[in-house]
Amino acid sequence: MFKSVLSSLLENGRAVSLALFALMLAVAATAAPARALDVDVSEYTLDNGMKVFVIPDHRAPVVTHMVWVRVGSADEELGKSGIAHYLEHLLFKGTKRLKPGEFSKIIRQNGGEDNAFTSYDFTAYFERIAPDRLELVMDLGADRFANAVFDDRDIKTELEVVKEERRSRTDNNPAALLREQLSAAAYTAHTYGRPVIGWMSEVEKLAAVDAQAFYQKYYTPANAALVVAGDVDPEEVLELAKKYYGKLKNDVPAPKRVRTQEPAPIAAKRVEMSDPRVASPSIARKYLVPGVNQAPPGVSATLDVLGQVLGSGSSSYLYTELVIRQKVASQVSSWHNGDTLDGGEISISLSPAPGVDVKAAEEALDAALHKLFKEGVSEDRVTRAQNQLVASNVYAIDSQFRLAYIFGAAFAIGQSVEETLGWTNRIKQVTAEQVSDAAREYLKLRNSATGVLVPAPSKAANASSN
Amino acid sequence: MKFFKLTTLTLLMSLLHIAYAQAFEIREVESPGGLNAWLVSDKTVPLITMRFSFRGGTINDPENAAGRSYFLSGMLDEGAGDLKSQEFQQRMSELAIRMSYDTDREHFTGSFQTLSENKDAAFDLLRLAVTEPRFDAEPMDKVRGQILLGIKGDEENPGRIASKALLKTMLGDHPYARVAKGDADSVSSMKPKDLKEAWSSIFVRDHLQIAVVGDITAEELGPLLDKVFGALPKQGKNISIPDLKAPEKGSITIVERKIPQSVMSFAMPGLVRSDPDFITAYVMNFVLGDGGFGSRLMEEVREKRGLTYGIYTGLASWTNGGLLIGSVSTQNAKAGETLDVLRAELVKMAEKGPTEEELEQAKTYLTGSYALRFDSGSKIASQLLGIQQDNLGIDYVEKRNDLIRAVTVEDARRVAKRLIDPEALTISIVGRPEGIPLRTGEAPG
């Protein structure tokens, strides 16, 4: 459902005076972890098992309403990749009461905006609107959750839209194709190795019956949460939630999310791709690490600090070593994402400096990591990383959307409000020794997959013609 | 499952007038030294957000130094005063400051955020960046490498190729057609003295506009403004550029690339922001192709035919001219069909304008959703800066919805006729498009 943007066209134009670039989220949201502190979160459970989270934010007359479902692309059956995302599109195509597109039209007519997003572990739908319209949105949201209809003709047209989305996001972009290949290589068994949008060969075969089955299995109230942030009173939100979402029935029990677990990695993986559309080489690497649900206590926070120390910003370890000291890279960055139902990842991305061989750059990266294993991470770096992570919480609460997102995503992967709010403290407790040990333990090559993207020797036709 | 009386509720809600309650007060703060800023003071979140800009962006770049202001925007956090690049970066990360610079055609913009507890130290670092940038050779070479990589990447990016080709065809050598990053030759030969020149010509108090939001009072802000910007020279040269003259006759340019999707940019002559028809044009364009779902183009091209993931149009309105500009991408085999639908919609809009119902719906949405642009400190700051840049006055936030409501269907029809000219549609396509009718003499290259 996402808007592509005119940004490349308007490069540095004044499109901002228009409401053109409304809201941008990737199909696969892999935002860095940043959880809120000092926020009041009210949590309720409706009789049907649906969770309700309310986060008051009275700074503006706006409310953000989200419905989070505990299902994502990693829950898809073999051969049906892309169905979670396709279903998300189809839920804008009408219900027993609403015609295709009417949901969004009503939201617009009430001065609101709406959209949705799908990731590996969750699917979420949101509306942003004036607080006095919240009841309307809940009525519509509950209807969509239970009464979607899948009309044959609309379904076919929408499948074409999804295929165009895949072409835009992935097939037209060699770096995106490499990322897809890298994930596929990194996971031996787990479904995190499949793209959220699905393989084209499977997407084009998706049918109404697949969407219907997926919807019936996963869209049950006990498998979902309502998140409301904004200029509202929690008790009033709860009453409305009871009135609309409370009436939804669990026709089937909330499905168990049983997924194939990734076996402990024993071999480094590697993919190499050359493409005439590549301007300059690049390296992408990911290490499979335990996610927040599997990691021993404190380890996920340690890995957050490690990701920050390694490659967040121009004073990070890898940037200092490879860009500033050795000048073998133009850019390098790294991040940790452990906010997952199953395993997490530490990712590194690197652009070799002009004239530097991609192989030499990769060797320099490995040498820099070895040096870090040997010498350990300095106290000073760890303290700075902790400061930045803790501050990122404060920056996050400036955004109402982000606030709602944080608690919705936590619900989707089974993290409690307390665990979410306790993140700041866990970050503060991490020691330099723990970070050094975690680097040695988790950044072993056998835990990794490395992707190398290089220009193809002969370039495609560049000629401009009519 | 049985459901409630949705239709009744929906209708009732739609008929209600959406009251826009402005939840904040904008104050104009004048510093003891005579600098002005717009301030929204709000202690809810312990953060301070500042956005500021200087008039003059890429249009400031001399002919022989394309990309100069873009280069400058990458160098202002690379060392200042006694702090060398790495020391400056470390200080930023210790204080968890977020500071970045950007340039567009007409403005050089700074974005700055700090935790309010670090206010004094953070504004001190901002002062250094703004008034004493260093431009050391080593960080300059680093940033140069990054820009060159960006330029190379853009040469293979279908969207970038399409927009560059479009602007070249439509605007020729006009400064508005410039690519911010410049070209490999000019960037390779950029010297510290060039950046110093760029800095001293852009960073001038008379060209400065400031918006501040968050945990700070007017009394605290005044002296801080002087501290940060007070040392800059007051007056600078005003840049004058020729008015834009976009061609009245359209054309198609195809840049062949072996990609599965044809990426298209298109445009027609537009209007300047100060044009009395701007708001009407904005509402009319909303019906046509802005606003995503619900626009005519999105309905016809995506929802009805499944030809694309998205099609959008927008007004690019500058001081000396403007364009009505748009983009769409579709599989190569459907390029011709997509363009046919686009043209048909343009003809329809030019001839008949929006319907009464479409106009009302657009007005309801645009007025009702205005508050959504003000729900965070950083959003408020960018709105306030934009309003200053466009010279719309400090009461614009209160007046804006009335301006939208005042647009009549007659106005909208007239402005649609004035702006939408399918004959003037210039298109650039990157890919291997099929079904594009070629008329001799139509393409420039």
DSSP class per residue in B390-420: TT--TTHHHHHHHHHHT--HHHHHHHHHHH-
Write out chain A residues lying below 8 Å of B93, CB-based.
313, 315, 384, 387-388
Residue in A109, A147, A330 nearest the CB of B1: A147
What pLDDT is stored for residue A79 in this prediction? Answer: 97
- B133, B139, B141, B146: CA torsion to nearest 10: -100
What pLDDT is stored for residue B246 in this prediction? Answer: 86
Band of residue A151 on the pLDDT scale cut at 50, 70, 90: confident
Cα–Cα distances in angstroms (integers) from residue A108 to residues A323, B293, B302, B313, in the given order: 47, 9, 18, 18
- What's the CA gap between A438 and A365, in Å, rounded? 18
What pLDDT is stored for residue A258 in this prediction? Answer: 86
**Does the beta-carbon distance from A167 to B96 stay under 8 Å?**
no
Band of residue A16 on the pLDDT scale cut at 50, 70, 90: very low
Lowest mean pLDDT of A40-54, A319-333, A445-459, B24-38, name the range. A445-459
Interface of A with B in 75-134 (CB under 8 A): 92, 96-98, 100-101, 104-106, 108-113, 128-130, 133
| Residue to test with chain B: of A127, A164, A322, A400, most B Cβ within 10 A | A164
Q: A120 vs A17, which has greater pLDDT?
A: A120
A121 has pLDDT over 50: yes
Asked if A92 and A157 count as a contact pair (C-beta separation under 8 A), the reply is no
pLDDT digits (tens, 9 = 90+) for A391-443: 999 999 999 999 999 999 999 999 999 999 999 999 999 999 999 999 999 99
| Residue to test with chain A: of B9, B22, B45, most A Cβ within 10 A | B45
A6 has pLDDT over 70: no
By three-state DSSP, how is residue B339 classified? helix
Residue A217 has which token pair? 């299995």
Does this model's pTM top 0.95? My answer is no
**Residues with Cβ within 8 Å of residue B364, at least 6 apart in sequence:** A108, A109, A110, A111, B14, B18
- Helix or strand run (H / E) with residue B52: strand B47-55
What pLDDT is stored for residue A457 in this prediction? Answer: 77
Cα–Cα distances in angstroms (integers) from residue A345 to residues A300, A336, B226, in the given order: 11, 6, 46
The alpha-carbon gap from A88 to the nearest alpha carbon of chain B, in Å, equals 14
- What's the CA gap between B232 and B209, in Å, rounded? 13
Q: Order of strands, edge to edge, in the sheet holding B208-214?
A: B27-30, B36-41, B208-214, B47-55, B107-115, B98-103
Tell me the Cα Rg of chain B: 24
CA angle A206, A210, A213 (to 5 degrees): 165
**Does the beta-carbon distance from A397 to B105 stay under 8 Å?**
no
- What's the CA gap between B204 and A41, in Å, rounded? 46
**Does the beta-carbon distance from A113 to B372 stay under 8 Å?**
yes
Work out whether strand B36-41 and strand B208-214 pair parallel, antiparallel, or are unpaired. parallel
What's the mean pLDDT when you consider all of chain A?
89
Average pLDDT over residues A159-172: 96
CA end-to-end span of chain B, whole Å?
62
Interface of A with B in 377-396 (CB under 8 A): 384, 387-388, 390-392, 394-395
CA nearest to B272 within chain A: A14
Residue in B145, B252, B282 nearest the CB of A18: B282
What pLDDT is stored for residue B238 in this prediction? Answer: 81
pLDDT digits (tens, 9 = 90+) for A215-265: 999 999 999 999 999 999 999 999 999 999 999 999 888 899 989 999 999
Average pLDDT over residues A97-106: 93
What pLDDT is stored for residue B438 in this prediction? Answer: 64
- What's the CA gap between B96 and A384, in Å, rounded? 8
Q: Which residue has the tokens 């909208």?
A: B412
A114 has pLDDT over 70: yes
- What's the CA gap between A123 and B401, in Å, rounded? 35
**Does the beta-carbon distance from A156 to B386 stay under 8 Å?**
no
What is the CB neighbour count within 10 angstroms for residue A340?
25
CA end-to-end span of chain A, whole Å?
34
What pLDDT is stored for residue B287 in this prediction? Answer: 97
Question: φ, ψ for residue A76 (rounded to 5)?
Answer: -70, 150
What pLDDT is stored for residue B444 in this prediction? Answer: 42
pLDDT digits (tens, 9 = 90+) for A269-278: 999 999 999 9
For B62-174, where are the E strands, in sequence order?
A: 98-103, 107-115
DSSP class of residue B243 equals: P
What is the CB neighbour count within 10 angstroms for residue B408?
12
For B144-301, where are the E strands, in sequence order?
A: 208-214, 252-256, 261-269
**Residues with Cβ within 8 Å of residue B350, at least 6 apart in sequence:** B416, B417, B420, B421, B422
CA angle A146, A150, A154 (to 5 degrees): 140
Q: Which residue has the tokens 């607080």?
A: A131
**Does the beta-carbon distance from B261 to A110 stay under 8 Å?**
no
Sign of the CA dihedral running A70, A74, A77, A83:
positive
Question: φ, ψ for residue A134 (rounded to 5)?
Answer: -60, -40
Residue B309 has which token pair? 């993931």
Cα–Cα distances in angstroms (integers) from residue B131 to residues A81, B36, B230, in the given order: 55, 18, 9
Positions in chain B short of pLDDT 50: 1-20, 439-445
What pLDDT is stored for residue B24 in this prediction? Answer: 86
CA nearest to B252 within chain A: A466
Chain B contact for A296, CB < 8 A?
no
By three-state DSSP, how is residue B352 classified? helix
- What's the CA gap between A422 and A406, in Å, rounded? 13
**Residues with Cβ within 8 Å of residue A214, at least 6 apart in sequence:** A71, A76, A80, A83, A84, A87
A28 has pLDDT over 80: no
Amino acid making up residue A143:
D
Helix axis angle for A299-311 and A379-396, nearest 10°, is 100
A347 has pLDDT over 70: yes
Tell me the Cα Rg of chain A: 23
The alpha-carbon gap from A311 to the nearest alpha carbon of chain B, in Å, equals 13
**Does the beta-carbon distance from B304 to A330 stay under 8 Å?**
no
For B177-335, where are the E strands, in sequence order?
A: 208-214, 252-256, 261-269, 311-317, 322-331
